[in-house]
């Protein structure tokens, strides 16, 4: 174990650094459904890392592909120079993305994907002769990463309040969590389609001629698992189409089988104009993100460009050879092991396991869809977030890694999970809930 001092230099992201470094939790190895602590203890991963290791940890095919790529072409810019794996990976992604949503821009993370998507939306409106359509509409409680575009359209106050006035011209839809009407809904909650009508009000306020795009997570994860009410996404799509506004889905957590379909767009049967990805795109073995755009958007921007470079945007490591190799191998694993179908088959069992905790102490709501689960706890009086943190710690000590956002427990296991492991997660959480005050 490193001495406490040796933990000082690394400024850990989204972590209470002082508390963590006083009482660290470390993992040193991972395989399949498990992490391993320095003392060899196995910890069942009920979070797929951070919603990203969909095929399970250290999958041999992915590891081997990365190794081979690293020895063949360690790096090449994709600025005005091509490397074959980036083209191949874009083509392969296009094969599983919804129809016509197959023009792919590579990034390195979900945050970069969100900002890239917003910039492409603005570039498209300008290219089609509507530069006055500049407003970006996000949603309360939305999470689109931590860059300035993402936090501007995002709606998590702690992520925004420190960083000044944000990107101009942004407004927000209301979030759709409605525990009073929808507590303990299985799957899509029945009430709340009318939350989508708030877009109509924003159009009345700002006029559609000033609005470029709406961005939402089809299922919000980071803010505590918010499943869209029945018909909500369809309503948003209809209003976007009616008012000539682009619809962007942030599929950073819902992409690649999490709901039992390739993308949430497939699961809900409602297609966006732009779709962001990251995390499971490479099984998180190499950082990568991507933005899928409709052909119409891509072709409009290319056809109307006043300069040889059509989009002044990109990253040094956009389409990095190691990431593309990892991504190609990951898609092979998803296909050959039918992991998206497997998630769909397991979803009812998962739903039952999550809802079996309805009578456990402190539970005020349970939400689920696909292989996602959220359990909302009543906050302890005078100490919000404390109970959630204690449940997290109790589960970890008992050998199960869950995720906690405030007093909401979030679950997103790898799609290779077995039924017995689902049972173990539910039992461990029940025991932890009984232990905490």
Ligand X SMILES: Cc1ncc(COP(=O)(O)O)c(C=O)c1O
Nearer to ligand X, 115 or 188 (CB): 115
Shortest distance, CB of residue 109 to ligand X, whole angstroms? 4
How far apart are alpha carbons 177 and 389 in whole angstroms?
22
Nearer to ligand X, 109 or 125 (CB): 109
Phi-psi category of residue 16: left, alpha or beta, with phi > 0 → left and psi -120 to 50 → alpha: beta
Residues in the chain: 437
Nearer to ligand X, 250 or 390 (CB): 250
- Complete DSSP assignment for 151-178: HHH---HHHHTTSTT-SSSEEEEPP---
Shortest distance, CB of residue 248 to ligand X, whole angstroms? 11
By the 8 A CB rule, do 382 and 395 touch? no
Shortest distance, CB of residue 287 to ligand X, whole angstroms? 7
How far apart are alpha carbons 363 and 2 in whole angstroms?
37
How far apart are alpha carbons 269 and 377 in whole angstroms?
32
By the 8 A CB rule, do 65 and 325 touch? yes
Which residue of the chain is nearest ligand X when measured via CB? Answer: 110
Shortest distance, CB of residue 244 to ligand X, whole angstroms? 25
Shortest distance, CB of residue 432 to ligand X, whole angstroms? 23
Nearer to ligand X, 219 or 417 (CB): 219
Shortest distance, CB of residue 217 to ligand X, whole angstroms? 4
Nearer to ligand X, 107 or 300 (CB): 107
Query: Pairing mode, if any, of strands 29-31 and 372-377?
Result: unpaired
By the 8 A CB rule, do 51 and 284 touch? no
Nearer to ligand X, 108 or 185 (CB): 108
Q: Count helices and strands (H / E) in the chain.
A: 16, 15
User: Which residues are near ligand X by CB under 6 A?
Assistant: 109-111, 114, 143-145, 217, 221-222, 250, 252-253, 278
């Amino acid at each position: 174990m490193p001495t406490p001092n040796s933990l000082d230099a690394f400024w850990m992201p989204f972590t209470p650094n002082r508390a963590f470094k006083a009482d660290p939790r470390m993992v040193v190895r991972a395989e399949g459904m498990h992490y391993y602590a320095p003392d060899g203890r196995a910890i069942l991963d009920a979070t797929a890392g951070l919603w990203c290791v969909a095929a399970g940890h250290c999958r041999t095919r992915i590891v081997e592909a990365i190794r081979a790529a690293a020895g063949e072409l360690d790096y090449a810019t994709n600025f005005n120079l091509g490397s074959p794996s980036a083209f191949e990976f874009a083509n392969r992604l296009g094969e599983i993305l919804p129809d016509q949503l197959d023009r792919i821009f590579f990034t390195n993370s979900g945050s970069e994907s969100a900002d890239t998507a917003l910039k492409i939306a603005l570039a498209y409106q300008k290219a089609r002769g509507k530069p006055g359509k500049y407003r970006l509409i996000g949603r309360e409680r939305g999470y689109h990463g931590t860059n300035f575009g993402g936090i501007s359209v995002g709606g998590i106050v702690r992520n925004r309040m420190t960083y000044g006035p944000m990107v101009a011209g942004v407004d927000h839809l209301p979030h759709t969590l409605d525990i009073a009407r929808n507590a303990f809904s299985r799957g899509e909650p029945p009430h709340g389609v009318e939350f989508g009508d708030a877009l109509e009000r924003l159009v009345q306020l700002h006029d559609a001629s000033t609005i470029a795009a709406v961005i939402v997570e089809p299922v919000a994860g980071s803010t505590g698992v918010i499943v869209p009410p029945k018909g909500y996404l369809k309503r948003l799509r209809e209003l976007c189409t009616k008012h000539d506004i682009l619809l962007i889905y942030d599929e950073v957590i819902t992409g690649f089988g999490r709901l039992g379909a390739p993308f949430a767009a497939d699961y809900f049967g409602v297609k966006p104009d732009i779709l962001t990805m990251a995390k499971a795109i490479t099984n998180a073995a190499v950082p990568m993100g991507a933005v899928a755009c409709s052909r119409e958007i891509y072709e409009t921007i290319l056809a109307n460009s006043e300069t040889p470079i059509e989009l002044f945007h990109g990253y040094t490591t956009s389409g990095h050879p190691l990431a593309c190799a990892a991504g190609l191998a990951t898609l092979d694993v998803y296909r050959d092991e039918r992991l998206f179908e497997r998630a769909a088959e397991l979803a009812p069992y998962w739903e039952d396991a999550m809802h079996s905790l309805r009578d456990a102490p402190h539970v005020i709501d349970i939400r689920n869809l696909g292989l996602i689960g959220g359990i909302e706890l009543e906050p302890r009086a005078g100490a919000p977030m404390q109970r959630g943190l204690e449940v997290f710690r109790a589960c970890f000590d008992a050998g199960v890694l869950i995720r906690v956002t405030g007093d909401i427990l979030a679950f997103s296991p790898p799609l290779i999970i077995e039924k017995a492991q689902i049972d173990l997660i539910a039992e461990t959480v029940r025991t932890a809930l009984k232990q905490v005050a």
